Structure 1
Amino acid sequence: MAAALTIATVDPSDASVILLVITVNTVVGVVQEVRVEEAVAALSAMNAPSARVVRDGEERSVAASEVVPGDLVLVAEGDVVPADADVLAAASLPADESSLTGESASVEKAPDGDGTRGTVSAGTVIVRGHGRVDVTATGADSALGRIAALMGAAPGPTPLQHRLAKFGRTLATVTVTLCAIVLTLGLVRGQPVELMIVAAISLAAVPESLPAVVTLALALGARRMADRHAVVRRLPAVETPGSVTVIATDETGTLTEGRMAAEQLWTASVGEALVAGTGYAPDGRTVRNGETVPPSEAPDLTAGPGRPDAPGSP
């Protein structure tokens, strides 16, 4: 509106500045969203890109999106299950269901099992072995699809958007009041009407820089998060984690890689110690006060609970 009024009063310089601010704001937001959509599309392409099915007695490879209920699918170690299915045959067939349930421990699958032992779900990964499954549900009808449907609702305003909306209303009220005062005082002093209108519009256009500044700040935040391998789909979400005070989660792999390993120990008798090593590899060391401590010199760390030599044992 400010740009249109400025053009109407034949003030191209002010109009150009206002349009430039709006253009920069729009371009930054669109570029960020396009980049994120490309990243999300690449991640989606990794989700069961193909499946081996048996149709008309012949084994063939088809896109996961072409799998339909009733298909016989062959699964093996490393395969992403393309759909919900019943297990017909299995040879040591554990499945990693952390993407669905958050549990890091794999679940052994077997035909005619009880509960979920006789079924596999879309999006889960076969840890080892091989088997044959009969597809029962695909897409939105699968367990993973039903979870995705729960996330279909539009997200509400973020804390930053709430604060900006409140600040914007206050700023708009103050700006309109100041414009009216400047226009009135100018006309009272006998200034030309056109000049005072341009002055009032210029004063009203000052807040136009606020969206650009906020957008650029959020874009920089999204860039830094991307450097740490965190994909931000919507710019306002960059600020949301900063408003979080408590995160309630578990330790089974929901927010981790699903591989549990101790990194820090504490005992009442001696205090803190750091553990170096990765996963279940048979190497590592225990560090206390900046020095490596062998197990023979750290009985408080090697003693198990309930043993007589364990800290706190009777």
Structure 2
Amino acid sequence: MRWPPRAPTAGPIHRHNCPKEANINNRSRLIALASAIAALGGLAAWSPPSIRRLGIEENPGYTWGNALQVAYPEYQIYHRGSVDTTEELFSATTAVELDTHMNALTVSGPRQTFYISQSLLGDATFPALPRSHMSSHLKDFKGGLGESSEEKREAMRQAKQLPAAQQVLVLVELTKPLPETALDRILAYRNSEWKRFFLSGTQTLSEKPLYWWPGWNGCSAVVIRSNNCGHRSVTADFREWVSQLSEEDAENLQKIGLDLQQMRTAAEEGLIYGFIDTRSGSRDLMELLERPEIRTVKVLERVPEPQS
């Protein structure tokens, strides 16, 4: 039995206990630019104020909220694009909510709110997200690198020790990369919210695999501009988002460990290297491990019993 899906926060994301991160250098440059424009008498003519290169479709939440999720598989990141974006004279700031995968399952605590800002000059400033229990496992990710009988035997040994009804959060590595349709046949997802897929091996900059998921309740409105909820293609949505990035975005992407060319390669390949899942008990985990498509399964955390 899965925990019920967690509904997105109603209304705007509240900005509390999370101060905006200032980019002092960019702010100084913007002040100097504003002074120069004012000195030339052009400030009054520059109306309404706007942001140059404000992300894809003038939407920093759509651009950088997604980028943050791709860079941080440890978390489920929720954003609503322009809905939670505040434009100021020389910058725009968008709020994102962050959950661990375990907290998203159990709803045992509030999400954290962080901020992404982008200046008039196009410089993005990202929050420094904390390490999670999953972070070290991601750096050791070997999905798509072929079978390992030793690692699978150890995973089976651990699986046999689980209680019959114990739910666990797991990181699954595939033996070889698979197309999404093949993985859908194996896992039979009822809602694409659970399709938490790794789209590459370990990346050079981040030392983590690229990641994508369709958002809470499988609603693409939180990741791709569409009202089609439920059954989403992870690889198609990722490809659509990557296709709208340009070389101008490369420098900002590097700030969070993303390489634009490596993302384009992953988008073109459209393959899955592993995934995050929730499994129930020893038998369920053993059935997964017995499949040849599965390289190994790493138990990340045990899910506590839901409280009545």
Instruction: Place the TM-score, normalised by the shorter chain, in its bin.
Output: under 0.3
Q: Normalising by structure 1, report the TM-score.
A: 0.23
Structure possessing the higher relative contact order (Cα contacts under 8 Å, 6 or more residues apart): 2
- Select the structure that is richer in helix: 1
Q: Normalising by structure 2, report the TM-score.
A: 0.23
